[in-house]
A and B are shown apart, each in its own frame.
Chain A
Amino acid sequence: MQQRLGRSISLVVNGEAVATCARTLSELVAEQGFAESAVATARNGDFVPRPARSEAELAPGDRIEIVAPRQGG
């Protein structure tokens, strides 16, 4: 847990390159300024349910989707 403290890794979040110190998806969601319940997430194309985010460790190059409700037809 300690080895990456303070070191940032590169991710792709919602299609944009992001450098982050977050170790887990849960930390990334908080770092991006979202309440846990306000968004849904996917990592590398797979859904990550809310309760699983704190155990979803991030690796360099991970593609993360963070989505919220929106208008739809």
Chain B
Amino acid sequence: MNAIDATPGSGRPLTLYGVDLPSRLLLGTARYPSPKVMSDAAIASSAGVLTVSVRREAARGDSGRRFFELIKALGVRVMPNTAGCRTPKEAITTAQMARELFGTDWIKLEVIGNDDTLQPDVFGLVEAAMVLCKEGFKVFPYTTEDLIVAERLLAAGCEVLMPWGAPIGTGRGLANPYALKSLRRYLASVPLIIDAGIGAPSHAAEAMEMGFDAILLNTAVSRAADPARMAHAFALAIEAGRSAYEAGLMEMRDMAVPSTPVAGTPFFDLERPQ
């Protein structure tokens, strides 16, 4: 089957939990050199969603309010995360606090299982997702490429999944393209967002060419020498990758095939001795 035949909603915008988004890029707001650079990058990226978090506020502190004002001024939908949570209970309480603070039921659900790899504790993830979906949250679980975990998350009520490309902050791109392709093919109608590990626009384009619905990234933009320019580069790559997927990529072959017609080649003679 040609890839284009399997493209649901070809040419349509990304829709997540019933919301149409103007872009297939979701951008993180952390680790920029300054708030101004973050704002400029967010604008240059045309991202439809900005990820945010909740953190302890020092007594009489004002940084939370100032940050939220800056984000609100950008006029872009926000998605809080549960970054750093290590148990389902921590993640659930953090999600509840985030919903009240940001006024959204969208939550990027992270339950971290290992401090070095920051890989998801997929058992805790499923447990937390079950509770949060029942409480009416629109859960975006940060997960691995494991198909069985994906099925459990869908059964828990998640309508979108966010498999990792590679561990958070590594910039290694798609560490396991075979498994990601399998996941994409198997869950053809579930919105899948590659979250984490994307280091270069080419990584994002590769994921989009595979048919992933969107890319969530942070560090590759925020730690670039020129974050706004890199944000724009990602926007272009993601658009290019999506267009390529919808256009239907050619099949890869092992042997060469001439692109110029063979018939009528001057001096060509089948009888010619080799």
Chain A positions within 8 Å of B, measured between CB atoms, are 13-15, 32-35, 38-42, 45-47, 49-50, 65-73
Q: Please name the 6 residue pairs, one residue from A and one from B, whose CB atoms are nearest each other, closest first.
A: A68-B64, A72-B53, A33-B60, A73-B28, A40-B97, A73-B218
CB-CB contacts of B83-124 with A at 8 A, as 1s and 0s?
A: 100000110111011101110000000000000000000000
Q: Which of B30, B90, B92, B101 touches A39 (beta carbons < 8 Å)?
A: B101
B55 adjacent to chain A (CB < 8 Å): yes
19 contacts between A and B (CB under 8 A): A33-B61, A38-B64, A38-B65, A39-B64, A39-B101, A40-B96, A42-B97, A49-B96, A49-B100, A65-B56, A67-B97, A68-B67, A69-B52, A70-B52, A71-B52, A72-B29, A72-B51, A72-B53, A72-B80
In whole Å, how far is A42's beta carbon from the nearest beta carbon of chain B?
A: 5
Check B64 against A69 for contact (C-beta < 8 Å). Answer: yes
**Interchain CA distance A41-B57 in the complex, whole Å:** 11
Check A70 against B89 for contact (C-beta < 8 Å). Answer: no
Task: Give the chain B neighbours of A71 by CB distance below 8 A.
Answer: 28-32, 38, 52-53, 67
Check B57 against A68 for contact (C-beta < 8 Å). Answer: yes
Chain B positions within 8 Å of A, measured between CB atoms, are 28-32, 38, 51-61, 63-65, 67-68, 71, 80-81, 83, 89-90, 92-94, 96-98, 100-102, 168, 218-219
**Interchain CA distance A47-B29 in the complex, whole Å:** 25
Check A69 against B100 for contact (C-beta < 8 Å). Answer: no
Check B102 against A47 for contact (C-beta < 8 Å). Answer: no
Check A40 against B52 for contact (C-beta < 8 Å). Answer: no
Q: Which of A38, A47, A69 touches B96 (beta carbons < 8 Å)?
A: A47
Check B54 against A70 for contact (C-beta < 8 Å). Answer: yes
Check A73 against B81 for contact (C-beta < 8 Å). Answer: yes
Q: Which of B51, B65, B71, B96 touches A73 (beta carbons < 8 Å)?
A: B51
Check A66 against B57 for contact (C-beta < 8 Å). Answer: yes
**Interchain CA distance A66-B54 in the complex, whole Å:** 10
**Interchain CA distance A10-B217 in the complex, whole Å:** 42
- Known: A73-B83, A73-B218. Contact between A68 and B54, CB under 8 A? yes
Check A50 against B100 for contact (C-beta < 8 Å). Answer: yes
Which partner residue on chain B sits nearest A13 by CB separation? B59
In whole Å, how far is A54's beta carbon from the nearest beta carbon of chain B?
A: 15
Check B55 against A67 for contact (C-beta < 8 Å). Answer: yes
**Interchain CA distance A39-B100 in the complex, whole Å:** 9
In whole Å, how far is B123's beta carbon from the nearest beta carbon of chain A?
A: 19
- Known: A65-B56, A70-B63, A72-B53. Contact between A47 and B97, CB under 8 A? yes
Task: Give the chain B neighbours of A45 by CB distance below 8 A.
Answer: 89-90, 93
**Interchain CA distance A49-B219 in the complex, whole Å:** 33
**Interchain CA distance A47-B99 in the complex, whole Å:** 11
Check A68 against B60 for contact (C-beta < 8 Å). Answer: no
Task: Give the chain B neighbours of A32 by CB distance below 8 A.
Answer: 59-60
Task: Give the chain B neighbours of A49 by CB distance below 8 A.
Answer: 96, 100
Check B30 against A72 for contact (C-beta < 8 Å). Answer: yes
Check B101 against A40 for contact (C-beta < 8 Å). Answer: yes
Task: Give the chain A neighbours of B101 by CB distance below 8 A.
Answer: 39-40, 67-69
**Interchain CA distance A33-B59 in the complex, whole Å:** 6
